Structure formats: structure tokens, C-alpha cells
């Protein structure tokens, strides 16, 4: 039964993740006297350097149909409210991020997460996504965005609430502006400019 195999695999993943995390604490924490919390030397985490401010620019492709579909509705809008804004709708995304506005231009990462229609009278989306980069030294690092996206505004601003890898302790903001929108397919290309402090 495929579903059983899937469950076994999932269970294996859970166990192996547990083993990995519990058997390899950061070397800085191998201290017998350590209990719950202690002050920390910045040097041990490599954050005694000056914080950098970087500007990233790329295009975010929301593709809701066709062979390259990357955006899928997982919760339909609330029928009870019958709002014109699709209030309650949730789309799960694994949207390509490219250097140029064309989908065929260089892939620099994926935007993984979801957006949800969170306003009853205007199309405002709640965005919750991890920008998972694959480009150069940023490969494997990610930036997390959580914010409000009123999609018909020219420029929408959303907070960068953190990150991983090279973006540990990251903070900043992203500005999104729609580059193109295909009324027929619903596909959108959005320019993102992300300003972020990181080490
Ligand atoms: C939803 O609203 C439309 C237009 O206002 C109306 O025609 C329709 O009957 C409504 N549907 C429900 C399920 O309330
Ligand atoms: C799918 O994406 C690839 C590149 O990422 C592109 O070459 C191709 O034309 C796309 N296909 C469709 C149907 O959009
Ligand atoms: C990014 O890192 C992964 C895992 O280390 C590697 O498999 C992949 O080839 C790298 N991608 C690029 C574009 O360098």
C-alpha cells in the first residue's frame, strides 16, 4: 500500500531528524554547567562583525495553470460570506524567483509558503513565505517574509522577519510591485526589491 510506505518514510524522517538534532548540539553549548539560558559571546556565532545592508532584486512568478504551475488553491474562499475578494482563500506556492521578468531568465530561488485573502472589501493578501535562494553563496540560505499585500496598490511593503544561513538575525523589508498580470490565466509576475540587514 503506497500510503503505508509514505507513512513509514515520514516516520523515518521524523526519527532521523530527531536523532540528528539531539546528537549534535552546537559545540558552543557543550557545557556541563549550562542550564536553560546563559549569556552568549557574539564571536561564537560569528556575529561580532559589522552588520551588512543588502538590496536583492528579482521577479516572483505566480503561475496558477499549465505545465509549470507553482501556485495551488488549497482552501476555497468562504461561501458563507460570498465576498468579492475571495475572503478566506488560501494558495500554497512554490513560486520561481528569477533575475529577469521572464520565466526563462536565471532562476535564483523559490518562494515557498502561502498567501491568503484576508480582507472582505479589498484584495489584501496575507503573505507568509520563505525565499529559498540557490544563487552563489546564498544557495541554501533563506529570507522569511510575513506581511500584508494589497495587490492592487502600486508598491506593497512587507516585513522581513528573519532568515536562515547567511540571513540569521535578518531584518528588513520587501517592496513588491506588479510587473505583469494575465487576466485570462491569472498568472502574475511581481518585481521584488528586498532590503535586508544581515551579517
Ligand atoms: C453571492 O452574491 C451574489 C451577488 O451579490 C448573489 O447573486 C449570490 O446569490 C450570492 N450567493 C450566495 C451563496 O449568497
Ligand atoms: C516552463 O518553464 C520553462 C523554464 O523554466 C520554460 O522554458 C517553459 O517555456 C515553461 N513552460 C510553460 C508552458 O510556460
Ligand atoms: C545548491 O546547493 C545544493 C546542496 O548543497 C546543491 O546540490 C546544488 O547544486 C546547489 N545549487 C547551485 C545552483 O549551486
pTM: 0.82
The stretches of the chain forming alpha helices (DSSP H) are 2-23
Task: Please work out whether the CB of residue 68 comes within 6 Å of at least one atom of ligand 2.
Answer: yes
What distance in angstroms lies between residue 103's CA and the mean position of ligand 2's atoms? 7
Q: Which residue has the higher pLDDT, 7 or 142?
A: 142
The number of the ligand nearest the C-alpha atom of 67 reads: 2
Atom of ligand 2 nearest to the CA of 67: 13
Q: Is residue 45 part of a domain?
A: no
The beta strand positions in 25-152, using DSSP E, are 52-62, 71-75, 90-98, 107-117, 124-133, 142-150
* Residue-averaged pLDDT of the chain: 88
Distance 21 CA to ligand 3 centre (A): 22
21 and 103 fall within a common domain: no
Q: Ligand 2 pocket, 64 CB below 6 A?
A: no
Contact 125, 151 (CB under 8 A): yes
Which three three-digit cell numbers place residue 113? 509558503
Residues 91, 141: one domain? yes
Q: Residue 62: give the domain boundaries.
A: 52-198
Residue 80 and residue 151 in one domain = yes
Give which of 27, 50, 10 is closest to 197, Cα–Cα: 50
CA of 60 to the centre of ligand 2 (A): 14
Nearest to 128 by CA among 140, 144, 139, 109: 144
Q: Which CATH number goes with the domain that contains 186?
A: 2.40.480.10
Residue 25 has pLDDT above 50, yes or no: no
How many structural domains is the chain composed of?
A: 2
pLDDT in tens, 98-146: 999 999 999 999 999 999 999 999 999 999 999 999 999 999 999 999 9
Amino acid at each position: 500500500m503506497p500510503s503505508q510506505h509514505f507513512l513509514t518514510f515520514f516516520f523515518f524522517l521524523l526519527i532521523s531528524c530527531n536523532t540528528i538534532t539531539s546528537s549534535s548540539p552546537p559545540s558552543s553549548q557543550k557545557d556541563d554547567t549550562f542550564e536553560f539560558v546563559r549569556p552568549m559571546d557574539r564571536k561564537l556565532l560569528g556575529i561580532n562583525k559589522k552588520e551588512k545592508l543588502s538590496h536583492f532584486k528579482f521577479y516572483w512568478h505566480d503561475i496558477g495553470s499549465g505545465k509549470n504551475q507553482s501556485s495551488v488553491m488549497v482552501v476555497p474562499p468562504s461561501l458563507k460570506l460570498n465576498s468579492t475578494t475571495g475572503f478566506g482563500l488560501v494558495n500554497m506556492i512554490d513560486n520561481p524567483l528569477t533575475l529577469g521578468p521572464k520565466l526563462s531568465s536565471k532562476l535564483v530561488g523559490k518562494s515557498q509558503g502561502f498567501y491568503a485573502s484576508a480582507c472582505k472589501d479589498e484584495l489584501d493578501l496575507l503573505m507568509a513565505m520563505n525565499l529559498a535562494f540557490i544563487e552563489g553563496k546564498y544557495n541554501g540560505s533563506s529570507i522569511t517574509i510575513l506581511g500584508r499585500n494589497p495587490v492592487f496598490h502600486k508598491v506593497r511593503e512587507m516585513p522581513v522577519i528573519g532568515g536562515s544561513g547567511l540571513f540569521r538575525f535578518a531584518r528588513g523589508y520587501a517592496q513588491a510591485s506588479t510587473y505583469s498580470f494575465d487576466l485570462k490565466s491569472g498568472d502574475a509576475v511581481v518585481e521584488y526589491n528586498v532590503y535586508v540587514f544581515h551579517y
